[in-house]
Amino acid sequence: MAVLFRAYFASAYGGYVRKTKSGVPVNAIHGFVRYLTDAVRTYEPTHVAVCWDMSSKTFRTERYAAYKGNRPEAPDDLIPQFDLVKEVVEALDVPNIGVLGYEADDCIGTLARKYGGEMDVLILTGDHDLLQLVSERVKVVMLKKGFGNYAVYDREALLAEKQLTPPQVIDLKGLIGDSSDNYPGVKGIGEKTAIKLLSEYETIEGILANLDALSASVKKKIEADLDMLHLCRELATIYCEVPLTCEIDACRWAPDPERVGAKFEELEFRGLLKDIV
């Protein structure tokens, strides 16, 4: 979903929204396909799956009603593309995966954990929350501005750039919150202070075990927001045991040119067909 939204806003910022001759908006889908096919050409995966958010209501909104409550409604011309993009993914013979009550991130985490022990996994996203999933065989391919521009994060790159281990990505969000997801963290604790604390004490538990060693102001802030600290860490944690079904053989990347061609012809994506066949 992060990729679809990125594709929409990257192409609609000037006010023009690509539509078919019959008036169906397709700009987000067109951009999504370009992102997907460029990544496939670049990294040559043997298997591909796409995960989607299914609803704004998840187990996180049950825990914290304000979770993502600050996000505006999707633009009117993006809404019909939510279902249509899944038809395109299906035409590529790629599984659409989503489970009510969970976010796409949770489905991605579940698949990464399930298959990351037996094969290399690349997670294509624009969402930095997924950096917590980095492991020995799981890397995050972060979309940067423009097509074909990526930053690949393994453990070493994550530590070098952000001074964090994958589990510390979660603890950082517990401390500072996430404005885009609308949870606050510990009031008055910023990213610089949080990274310094995690560098010294490794985990939130380590920080709490050493409260008396902290400055009086930092100690006071943490003690005042202790419940929120734990809640925010919970909200930030990707759940990796979603009850989903996705057999690896169903994910093999082998699009049927005729099936893809028919769907692309319908959406007037003729120029993209060369990226598939």
Give 134-181 pLDDT, tens digit per residue. 999 999 999 998 788 999 999 999 999 999 999 999 999 999 999 999
What percent of the chain has pLDDT above 90? 90
55, two tokens: 């609803």
Task: Give the model's confidence band at 277: pLDDT under 50 very low, under 70 low, under 90 confident, else very high.
Answer: low
Residues 113 and 193 in one domain: no
Give the pLDDT mean for 192-204.
97
pLDDT of residue 255: 95
Q: Is 164 left (phi over 0), alpha (psi -120 to 50) or beta?
A: beta
Number of C-beta neighbours around residue 225 at 10 A: 20
pLDDT digits (tens, 9 = 90+) for 74-104: 999 999 999 999 999 999 999 999 999 999 9
CATH of the domain at 195: 1.10.150.20
Task: Give the count of domains, the chain.
Answer: 2
Range of the domain at 86: 2-163+237-271
Q: Is residue 276 situated within a structural domain?
A: no
> How confident is the model over 104-120, as a mean pLDDT?
96
277 is a domain residue = no
Same domain, 88 and 139: yes
pLDDT at 47 > cutoff 90: yes
pLDDT value for 146? 78
Which CATH number goes with the domain that contains 113?
A: 3.40.50.1010
> Residue 275: pLDDT above 80?
no
> Would you state the pLDDT for residue 147?
80
* 152 and 21 part of one domain: yes
